[in-house]
Structure 1
Amino acid sequence: MGRSLAIDWDLAERVAVKVSNHAPFSGDQYKQGLLEEFTEHTARAEGLVAATTGLTSTQGQARARVVDRAGWISTNLKSLQRLLKPLLENEETDASESPVSARLTAIEMGAVLGWMSTRVLGQYDLLVIEDEDEDEQDLVYYVGPNVVALERRYAFPSSDFRQWLALHEVTHRAQFTGVPWLRQHYLTLVEALLDEAEPESNQIIERLRAIKNQDENTSGEGFIPAVATPQQKAALDGIAGLMSLLEGHGDVTMDRAGIGIVQYANRYAKVMRDRRQSATGITRLIQKIIGLEAKLAQYAQGEEFIAAVEKAGGEKLFNQVWVEPSHLPSSEEIKNPSLWIERIQVKTGG
């Protein structure tokens, strides 16, 4: 069956920007001094994260960029096109696609992105866009109006909160640029998962509507069939284990790196619990669209996995996860750390 997925990307961007304009601080009143401050916080966070984890970026110093909501939308539409490439690459030859479906898909996607653009505070974009300038890649993004709006709503001390936020985003950059093979490994898993999927436009529209309405009960199976291919099953398990590990490691690193630096970390975490977006935020949107998020291990299990591994063998044993892809835990090993510990100790002679 020919694929019938198509998206009017320009329309999606226009809709998203229109939705985002209804949020506070849509003008320039928030910008003064913000880039300078986040540049400083990002540099400090990089040193703290490296000292805590031992992960040093192979891409040089982290670079901060403060964007408005429209800038975040534009950047993430490019990322979406890159991530959805396996589904879209054959679309030009599919004459059955309805322009109406392409527009409806774009409208729903724009509505979701517009809503997300009013909530995301920061993001590390792990993707590499082939046709984009190097200066536009490997950036740590901060969505200025959202940061300022949240600070004012909860009376957060701005410098302390911004340092906490920088620690979160820089931790994820350290993971994907401090482990040379990790970025491509993740993208390969996503591409393997999507390559054999054949979604119809109405499926995407339904998924986007459920996300926009925050209807957790309609998460469903997404595009991943109930009986997946062996390749899809392997990719699914790999992504589930990896994302649980990275989120858990991110939280542990933030807590440790911020000791004595961030005064109100517990308060920020409590307020943010229901609105958190990981550094791979747009990737999580893809997970929602294809129905993958419901299959992922609970992110809290990543922290429990790390605690169990370090209890058994300290940081030296845990750092085996960064050696090569085969050392990453599966989703089953995340739930049962003793399985991973035994496997790695046998493999390394530890």
Structure 2
Amino acid sequence: MTSPADLIINWDVARSTASRLVPPGPSLSPAAAAREVADVRQAAAEAVGYVHTITGLSAAEGLGEDQRDVLVVDRPGWSAANTESFRKLLRPALDAVAEKKPQLVSEGSSAQVFGSAAAGAELGGILAFLSANVLGQFDPFHSSEHAPGGRLMLVAPNIVEIAKQLNVDRSDFRLWVCLHEQTHRVQFAAAPWLRDHLMSSISTLSSSTLGRADGLPQRIVEAVKSLRQEMGQQKVSDQHDAAAGVPARNRLLEVLQTPEDREIMSHLTAVMSLLEGHANVVMDAVDDSIVPTVKTIRRRFEQRGKNRSPLEKIVRKLLQLDVKAAQYRDGQKFVGHIVETIGMERFNTIWDSPEHLPSEEELHNPDTWIERMGYTPKG
């Protein structure tokens, strides 16, 4: 039976659009491609042990031996997998919208057919762009017989291509990438409750946002007026809200959201920053005894981010990928400060329950998290 959500977004169109628009990857012979897949798998297995040593998380034990939830994929494979992930993640919200707005799911009507196809094509185009830029991804929302707690995907063509662009040792680069992604796998293994916690928050936020679609045009007009007044009262340059310290476009999003939406978004921002920052701290703990050319890789990878084409910069802004980069930095400062102040063992209690997760305010003031948890700085 077709779910109402499947009548709002045509997932087949999303999948086929992504497959059609995916940029071609590096040219490798079948034998070379097979070797690369095997080498990436080996790097993924090796990375877990280093993550275990650096973090001290017991959940990492044995993960390097069990590789059934680790997939080495190409760009179309990554796009197809993420189409299914979005389908699962958005289904509760879209079903709720369909219940409130049955006209959207009048199966066979021109509005339903064209609307769902347009939504599918838009999603497919986004996934096609991302597929050429993603090195790896842990998907906690995937569940199957062999991967009940999520799966790790490593995009082999992108690892090959970016290593070549950076002119770095490919073997070292593989391991460096896998260290970050395996850290995410270990995080969710250490906090098995985190998957459902995030799913619930995302579903609630999506249902709230999509459920108010009818009033969106008027809310945009009101938001723009409010933002214009704000900017008229303050001297703002470079589209930056000097008072709040956030880009003006984010202030616009805040006005569009309800207080409840903003609270959930704030929580999700803090959690995602924690996850990304923690993974970066693990990567920074790696020295040349593990990845011999790690300093060169770090320097050239950071420089690569400054040399994007104008088109890529525009697309990244539209998809708010720069926000994700900021999450890496904010989360990394939070984790680094706490580990330095109270040690890794006490920091690891952050994975014990949802109550231990930081708020967005604590993310920028880590000492308040330390105080709330009742810890004192190590002597």
Instruction: Give the TM bin, normalised by the shorter chain.
Output: 0.7 to 0.9
2:133 equivalent in structure 1: 119
1:48 equivalent in structure 2: 50
Q: CA deviation at 1:50?
A: 0.8
Note if contact 1:167-1:258 (Cα within 8 Å) is conserved in structure 2.
no
Q: CA deviation at 1:136?
A: 8.2
Note if contact 2:277-2:327 (Cα within 8 Å) is conserved in structure 1.
no
1:335 equivalent in structure 2: 364
Q: CA deviation at 1:177?
A: 1.1
Indicate the SS of the match to 1:260. Answer: coil
- Please state if 1:265 is matched with 2:294: yes
1:78 equivalent in structure 2: 84
Q: Return the match for 1:171 from 183, 189, 208.
A: 183
1:290-309 equivalent positions in 2, closer than 5 A = 298-309=327-338
Indicate the SS of the match to 2:153. Answer: strand
1:151-300 equivalent positions in 2, closer than 5 A = 151-198=163-210, 200=213, 226-230=256-260, 232-273=261-302, 298-300=327-329
Paired residues, number:
320
> How far apart in 2 are the matches of 1:218 and 1:344?
34
Indicate the SS of the match to 2:192. Answer: coil
Indicate the SS of the match to 1:142. Answer: strand
Structure 1 window deviating more from structure 2 (119-128 vs 295-304): it is 295-304
Amino acid of the structure 1 residue aligned with 2:120: A
- Please state if 1:315 is matched with 2:317: no
Note if contact 1:20-1:117 (Cα within 8 Å) is conserved in structure 2.
yes
1:17 equivalent in structure 2: 19
Q: CA deviation at 1:29?
A: 6.4
> How far apart in 2 are the matches of 1:8 and 1:222?
30
- Distance change >3 Å, CA 191–CA 324, structure 1 → 2: same
Q: State the structure with bigger RCO (CA 8 A, min sep 6), 1 or 2.
A: 1
Note if contact 2:93-2:206 (Cα within 8 Å) is conserved in structure 1.
yes
2:162 equivalent in structure 1: 150
> How far apart in 1 are the matches of 2:275 and 2:300?
21
1:56-71 equivalent positions in 2, closer than 5 A = 56-57=58-59, 61-62=63-64, 63=67, 64-71=70-77
**TM-superposition CA deviations, 1:258-313 (whole Å, max 9, x none):** 5511122233334434669xxxxxxxx9xx87x89859974312222223323432
Note if contact 2:277-2:331 (Cα within 8 Å) is conserved in structure 1.
yes
Q: CA deviation at 1:221?
A: 7.5
- Distance change >3 Å, CA 304–CA 223, structure 1 → 2: closer
> How far apart in 1 are the matches of 2:252 and 2:119?
15
Structure 1 window deviating more from structure 2 (83-92 vs 267-276): it is 267-276
> How far apart in 2 are the matches of 1:341 and 1:218?
31
Amino acid of the structure 2 residue aligned with 1:262: V
> How far apart in 2 are the matches of 1:297 and 1:226?
22
- Please state if 1:107 is matched with 2:121: yes
Q: CA deviation at 1:243?
A: 1.3
Indicate the SS of the match to 2:373. Answer: helix
Note if contact 1:49-1:167 (Cα within 8 Å) is conserved in structure 2.
yes
1:88 equivalent in structure 2: 94
Q: CA deviation at 1:40?
A: 1.7
The structure in which a higher percent of residues are helix is 2
Note if contact 1:241-1:329 (Cα within 8 Å) is conserved in structure 2.
yes
Amino acid of the structure 2 residue aligned with 1:80: F
When the two chains are superposed, the root-mean-square deviation of aligned CA atoms in Å is 3.7
Indicate the SS of the match to 1:10. Answer: helix
Q: CA deviation at 1:149?
A: 1.7
Note if contact 1:13-1:110 (Cα within 8 Å) is conserved in structure 2.
yes
Note if contact 1:197-1:224 (Cα within 8 Å) is conserved in structure 2.
no
* TM-score of the two chains, using structure 2 as the length reference: 0.73
Gaps of 5+ in 1: 204-215, 277-284
Q: CA deviation at 1:188?
A: 2.1
Indicate the SS of the match to 1:100. Answer: helix
**TM-superposition CA deviations, 1:220-263 (whole Å, max 9, x none):** 67987634243x34322221111111111111111214551112
- Distance change >3 Å, CA 221–CA 109, structure 1 → 2: farther
Amino acid of the structure 2 residue aligned with 1:9: W
- Distance change >3 Å, CA 90–CA 27, structure 1 → 2: farther
